[in-house]
Chain A
């Protein structure tokens, strides 16, 4: 018998400094990189211009699915100003972000899988020349039938988009059961079954992906790239280029927006690296906006079916979730996304028995991947809209219902995720109060409404993408005699403020100013590994590493100063750029002198820190996706005005409470919350990555409906509502100074809160996003005709689900392992194709 209480508790990180008031942490501050950003001096990848630089363009497939019979690039190579043409044969080794999905080639060798898949690269003196030469490459394609959505993928075994995966065009099947969910349903007073659809959408960072590669003077490779994951790019480059990893340097330039869209190793990064090595000249590529749409890796379209059993008081007795996930043309993070789509349901509300079945299919569209909230916004939408329906049926206020079932701190969920601090209930109470929810819900005039929703998100993935036992983040600190402190860390600045997090923590511990700190980040040569800016991991993981390194440096300085002042070390304090006797604050030395004293005593002062997440109790196969050191929580109320003549939805106000642990820099935290609300409203109301088939007489190809910013609608300054942000600050001992994540969580409750508000306003359920005026008008017409006042999917197709891996939850004596064995769950990896050029 195992009891969740028996799982080892977290080590407690230092969460305050000497019990004194914090001077940097928690104070709204100008971020360390702000000046560079407001003067236009932040050097993004495309801002790099080097002597003798050449330009690369990629020839992309105009067909969604085809075999490549022959490529003749002789005319392109003969074009004046063209230096090099590469095709798939030059870079045949497969790669991909996940070890189980090494299914991409930098340039397709013989098989293109979506419009935009690259087949050749031209490097020329001028970008325009390279562009012109693309027209001179003759590619002979054999057109293949295309698969446009998962239902077609399920029905079409041949041709296969990939020759690995489960079978046919199914990439991944997942089936997990935590407790007997049928038994849960038998104990329920009411069973709710609802089907939802979440349309795909894209990150739309304003910066287009760009990279510059050079062969260093010593013959090694350096690449500057707009990547969120320099460490993973480093590994992919070594693999495909067959070079020692130590001979490659990846420098992640500050990203002009990431949102998950720059987290995969990309074909263009590999191509310019190869070209730079061959030409011995700098090679640059900057994608056009249309190409960014083809890179994609955005939100997976997901069809989902929720079956939930509840008692009359709202207690959940069991939940069964099925998802059908449109993966697009490659694996990308998709296996992880498939698990994530079923992972976090249990982290917000107590679900004693839970079953998840997920199916990801390949389709001939740009690959989907991680976008802010990775895999979890779609089921969160379904879960929170269904809860609204449950609350209505049970005649319980939706906020009260959530309060009754909210999870509490330090529990282990049915699927064995160990929760840290859980302030979901406090978020709910706070937001009910500030939004005046009770006065508004079901009480606003026709056409106006409010909706409620909650969510949770990881503070960093508990496991790395490739199996290893090393730290997830490392920091080195260099202490200079001048009093300057240099931070070296692999963490990547994508706009979220990762540099500021590191500088803030180090400055707080050492009692100096953030502007006394210099940072070298995102550079695989200069700093220790940090796994990257994804899964909301930087604040907690790089932050804890920085905290440890700073504390170690502080100890050395304190010892040297204590000897000099002839006082016990314990009385030494660090503040205001001084190191002094806490009993007699006038007695002390300047911080720079403290460094000199320490250097004289111990030699050159440099310290390191690192962070490895605690072991997860989720020991079953698949339990690697979802564990996190701790989770953030959010609750939101969205107010809408719905024009029943046009279907147009206006959002005047949003209230959101976020359980942040501690806000390291409240200015940046608020920016992350509001940015999440903004992006959530875009997903809720307008953003969609849609495709259409060309007419049969014109190839019948599947093409992107609108690969442009103009047609891909996103909210402008005119659409942004007023947002009231409430931060719930109960420091979590797992985070540095108690901090938890904020980059992704606050997006999650927005979409369902909008849908619930639309129902409150006009009495129609829109069970899919985006909630467009057409859908509202259709649902209103249904309502008028006295049919079900709803717009949404009407069925969930048949999938041959495998036998579920059965894991008894903690309260049934489970130990985190499965009690049955199923010969299933890991896609057969395709044998790597290595062609000799």
Chain B
């Protein structure tokens, strides 16, 4: 099988929403969402550790739910919403999870961090007050070799408090 030149391999075209922005992209049709994000869209914030769905590093949110982008065929994302770590900041401000992860030592080497952040966001979006066991459960597919997870749990818990207080403040402001 002879491989076609790079540009002529980009036979697939797709429109989807990436971090709230409509994106049109051409890519080789065999590519996974992970590959299209990193290689065709320059979004290298999403990492990879196995390309086999084993480590959780490549987690992104697809229509709000965490998926392993190494196991998602990019073509399946037509018309859908994808959120990566690059989309967590709002108005130039870190998401509360990013703030607490940074402050509380939840990111050491930082390689599993993007996948864990978006997975934690999906958890908090669905359940704003998860307990420690629910946090453990939600993150059990994201391996971290550095932290021993405890500072990650604490950062998620601190973000819960931070989000709740920000919500109260903005509610009061209204």
Binding site for B on A (CB under 8 A): 30-31, 33-44, 46-47, 49, 79-81, 125-126, 128-129, 132, 203-208, 254-259, 288-289, 494-497, 667-668, 670-671, 674-679, 708-710, 714, 716-718, 720, 722-723
* Residues of chain B contacted by A41 (CB below 8 angstroms): 45
Q: How far is the CB of A127 from chain B (nearest CB, A)?
A: 9
Known A35-B102, A38-B98, A40-B45: A720·B108 in contact at CB below 8 Å: no
Within B2-35, the residues touching A (CB, 8 Å) are: 2-3, 5-6, 9, 30
> Is there an interface contact between A671 and B89, defined as CB atoms closer than 8 Å?
no
CA distance A708 to B52 in the complex (A): 9
Known A667-B104, A718-B136: A36·B2 in contact at CB below 8 Å: no
* Residues of chain A contacted by B117 (CB below 8 angstroms): 38
CA distance A634 to B144 in the complex (A): 23
- Of the A-B pairs whose beta carbons lie under 8 Å apart in the complex, a sample of 17, sorted by A's number, is A37-B107, A39-B88, A42-B110, A79-B3, A80-B2, A81-B5, A206-B112, A259-B145, A289-B51, A668-B108, A671-B146, A671-B151, A674-B147, A678-B148, A708-B54, A717-B153, A723-B150
> Is there an interface contact between B148 and A208, defined as CB atoms closer than 8 Å?
no
* Residues of chain A contacted by B2 (CB below 8 angstroms): 79-81
CA distance A562 to B1 in the complex (A): 76
Q: How far is the CB of A295 from chain B (nearest CB, A)?
A: 14
Closest 5 CB pairs of A and B: A40-B45, A495-B109, A37-B110, A256-B111, A678-B148
Q: How far is the CB of A725 from chain B (nearest CB, A)?
A: 9
**Which of A42, A497, A677 has the most B CB atoms < 10 Å from its CB?**
A42
**Taking the complex as formed, is B129 at the interface, i.e. its CB lies under 8 A from any CB of chain A?**
no
CA distance A79 to B147 in the complex (A): 45
> Is there an interface contact between B88 and A675, defined as CB atoms closer than 8 Å?
no
Closest to A208 in B: B49
> Is there an interface contact between A671 and B54, defined as CB atoms closer than 8 Å?
no
Partner of B110, one of A30, A495, A668: A495
Within B132-168, the residues touching A (CB, 8 Å) are: 135-137, 139-153
Known A49-B39, A49-B42, A81-B5: A34·B107 in contact at CB below 8 Å: yes
Partner of A38, one of B39, B107, B142: B107
CA distance A675 to B145 in the complex (A): 7
CA distance A710 to B141 in the complex (A): 11
Binding site for A on B (CB under 8 A): 1-3, 5-6, 9, 30, 38-39, 42, 44-52, 54-55, 57, 84-86, 88-89, 94, 97-99, 101-105, 107-114, 117, 135-137, 139-153
Partner of B54, one of A37, A79, A709, A720: A709
* Residues of chain A contacted by B54 (CB below 8 angstroms): 289, 708-710
> Is there an interface contact between B44 and A254, defined as CB atoms closer than 8 Å?
no
Closest to A259 in B: B145
> Is there an interface contact between B142 and A710, defined as CB atoms closer than 8 Å?
no
Known A40-B86, A132-B1, A289-B54: A256·B6 in contact at CB below 8 Å: no
Say what secondary structure dominates the interface of chain B.
Answer: loop
Partner of A718, one of B6, B47, B137: B137
> Is there an interface contact between B86 and A39, defined as CB atoms closer than 8 Å?
yes
CA distance A378 to B117 in the complex (A): 36
Closest to B95 in A: A38
> Is there an interface contact between A674 and B109, defined as CB atoms closer than 8 Å?
no
> Is there an interface contact between A710 and B84, defined as CB atoms closer than 8 Å?
no
Closest to B57 in A: A206
* Residues of chain B contacted by A714 (CB below 8 angstroms): 143, 145
> Is there an interface contact between A39 and B47, defined as CB atoms closer than 8 Å?
no
> Is there an interface contact between A717 and B152, defined as CB atoms closer than 8 Å?
yes
Closest to A673 in B: B148
> Is there an interface contact between A128 and B148, defined as CB atoms closer than 8 Å?
no
* Residues of chain B contacted by A205 (CB below 8 angstroms): 109, 111, 145
* Residues of chain A contacted by B151 (CB below 8 angstroms): 667, 670-671, 674
CA distance A352 to B30 in the complex (A): 66
> Is there an interface contact between B3 and A128, defined as CB atoms closer than 8 Å?
yes
> Is there an interface contact between A39 and B109, defined as CB atoms closer than 8 Å?
no
CA distance A667 to B146 in the complex (A): 13
Known A41-B45, A670-B151: A207·B6 in contact at CB below 8 Å: no
Q: How far is the CB of B11 from chain A (nearest CB, A)?
A: 14
> Is there an interface contact between A709 and B109, defined as CB atoms closer than 8 Å?
no
* Residues of chain A contacted by B153 (CB below 8 angstroms): 717
Q: How far is the CB of A45 from chain B (nearest CB, A)?
A: 11
* Residues of chain A contacted by B107 (CB below 8 angstroms): 34, 37-38
Known A206-B111, A710-B54: A717·B136 in contact at CB below 8 Å: yes
CA distance A714 to B143 in the complex (A): 8
Q: How far is the CB of A77 from chain B (nearest CB, A)?
A: 14
CA distance A23 to B3 in the complex (A): 60
* Residues of chain B contacted by A43 (CB below 8 angstroms): 44
Known: A30-B102, A37-B109, A720-B149. 18 other contacts (CB 8 A): A33-B110, A38-B107, A38-B117, A39-B94, A40-B114, A47-B38, A126-B6, A204-B145, A205-B111, A205-B145, A206-B111, A207-B111, A256-B49, A288-B51, A496-B108, A709-B49, A710-B54, A718-B136
* Residues of chain A contacted by B149 (CB below 8 angstroms): 678, 717, 720
> Is there an interface contact between A39 and B143, defined as CB atoms closer than 8 Å?
no
* Residues of chain A contacted by B38 (CB below 8 angstroms): 47
* Residues of chain B contacted by A207 (CB below 8 angstroms): 47, 49, 109, 111
**Which of B1, B88, B139, B147 has the most A CB atoms < 10 Å from its CB?**
B147
> Is there an interface contact between B136 and A40, defined as CB atoms closer than 8 Å?
no
* Residues of chain B contacted by A670 (CB below 8 angstroms): 105, 151
Partner of A674, one of B47, B50, B150: B150
CA distance A37 to B100 in the complex (A): 12
Q: How far is the CB of A202 from chain B (nearest CB, A)?
A: 11
* Residues of chain A contacted by B104 (CB below 8 angstroms): 667
CA distance A208 to B150 in the complex (A): 24
* Residues of chain B contacted by A677 (CB below 8 angstroms): 148
> Is there an interface contact between A255 and B44, defined as CB atoms closer than 8 Å?
no
> Is there an interface contact between B103 and A494, defined as CB atoms closer than 8 Å?
no
* Residues of chain B contacted by A716 (CB below 8 angstroms): 140-141, 143
Closest to A725 in B: B150
Known A208-B49, A674-B150: A717·B142 in contact at CB below 8 Å: yes
